[in-house]
Amino acid sequence: MKILVCGDVEARSGREAIEAHLPYLKKRYSIDFIVINVDNAAGGFGITATIAKRFFELGADVLTGGNHIFDQAEIIPFLATEKRLLRPHNMPFNTPGTGVAEITAGGKKIVVIHISGYKNMPIVVNDPFEAISSLLQKYALRKNADAIVVDFHAEVTSEKNAIGHFVDGRVSILVGTHTHIPTRDERILELGTAFQTDIGMCGDYDSVIGMNKQAAIAKFSSGYMRTKLMSATGKATFCGLLVELDDLTGLARQVQFIKLGGCIC
């Protein structure tokens, strides 16, 4: 089985990169399952139902969010009915939506888990280690899941590294999202889990993590916001991690970082 996880989609440029590259990649690599992080897909702040539906049309099987998942108010009722769009599982218990998707594709059961980091995140969440431990008591490779994919949306690289090793051998893939910068440390961990600290973004890299660079520089250099941050509008780079799994174990056999188009191609 081949699974592609696409980095955070940043606004219109990121959406155009998905439109341009996802159908080609799916055909070129015979990809069986696709996960896209969409936390910044709508102008850099969350996602709308219209955008989500378009990603499904393009071949996405599951969409994950993050700390911006509720930025567009219209998405709340959509989250209640569309179980393929995830918010972080470890948000407070009464938060709308779900953080886990169970999808059958090609006769295989794939479980996608979306967890938020705790350190330095602008979001109220419970302990991510406790949350993932609880879920992995319910889902297990070779028992009731053919593949388990985890999107860990977090700021701190050490926290991402720690949780990767914490679940090593118990999930198929764990990738970090949120910081928009690809770390290029993609690898298979000791016990067989495919891992990358951060898979980067699908967005314009001639920017400050996807935002207009002049506005972002002004914010950092002055100590206050002079102009509203807006997403950069140049040509985007597509970033994602392609993983080939062993069909018998559900663990990784091969990992490949995908980087196409834009200024860091």
Task: Provide the β-strand partners of residue 188.
Answer: 194
Indicate the pTM of the whole model.
Answer: 0.96
- pLDDT score, position 148: 99
Cα distance between residue 11 and residue 8, in whole Å: 10
Strands 238-245 and 252-260: antiparallel
Cα distance between residue 148 and residue 135, in whole Å: 11
State whether residue 157 is helix, strand or coil.
Answer: helix
- pLDDT score, position 226: 66
Q: What number is the average pLDDT over the span 134-139? A: 98
**What is the domain-level CATH number for residue 254?**
3.60.21.10
Residue pointed to by tokens 């799994």: 245
- pLDDT score, position 221: 87
Q: For 35-49, what is each residue's pLDDT tens digit?
A: 999 999 999 999 999
Range of the domain at 247: 2-264
Count of domains in the chain? 1
Q: What number is the average pLDDT over the span 48-75? A: 97
- pLDDT score, position 225: 65
Cα distance between residue 179 and residue 10, in whole Å: 12
Q: What number is the average pLDDT over the span 64-81? A: 96
- pLDDT score, position 265: 72
- For the chain, give the percent of residues with pLDDT over 90: 91
Q: Phi-psi region for residue 228, left (φ > 0), alpha (ψ -120 to 50) or beta?
A: beta
- pLDDT score, position 261: 95
Closest CA to 16 of 231, 257, 178, 196: 231
Compute the 3-state secondary structure of the chain and give helix, strand, coil in percent, each to the nearest 5: 25, 30, 45
Q: For 6-21, what is each residue's pLDDT tens digit?
A: 999 999 999 999 999 9
Q: For 181-228, what is each residue's pLDDT tens digit?
A: 999 999 999 999 999 999 999 999 999 999 999 888 888 888 666 677
Catalytic residues: 68
Q: How confident is the model at residue 264 (pLDDT cuts 50, 70, 90)?
A: confident
Cα distance between residue 140 and residue 160, in whole Å: 21
Mean pLDDT rounded to a whole number for the chain: 96
- pLDDT score, position 215: 86
- For the chain, give the percent of residues with pLDDT over 70: 98
Cα distance between residue 96 and residue 77, in whole Å: 8
1: CB partners within 8 A, 6+ apart: 32, 33, 106, 108, 146, 147, 244, 245, 247
- Secondary structure element (H or E) that encloses residue 218, with its range: helix 213-222
Cα distance between residue 99 and residue 5, in whole Å: 16
129: CB partners within 8 A, 6+ apart: 163, 166
CB neighbours (10 Å) of residue 94? Answer: 5
Evaluate if residue 124 carries a pLDDT over 80. Answer: yes
Cα distance between residue 141 and residue 171, in whole Å: 7
Q: For 240-261, what is each residue's pLDDT tens digit?
A: 999 999 999 999 999 999 999 9
Would you give the end-to-end CA distance of the chain in angstroms? Answer: 26
Classify each residue of 222-241 as buried b or exposed e, where b means 16 or more C-beta atoms within 10 Å of its C-beta: eeeeeeeeebbeebbbbbbb
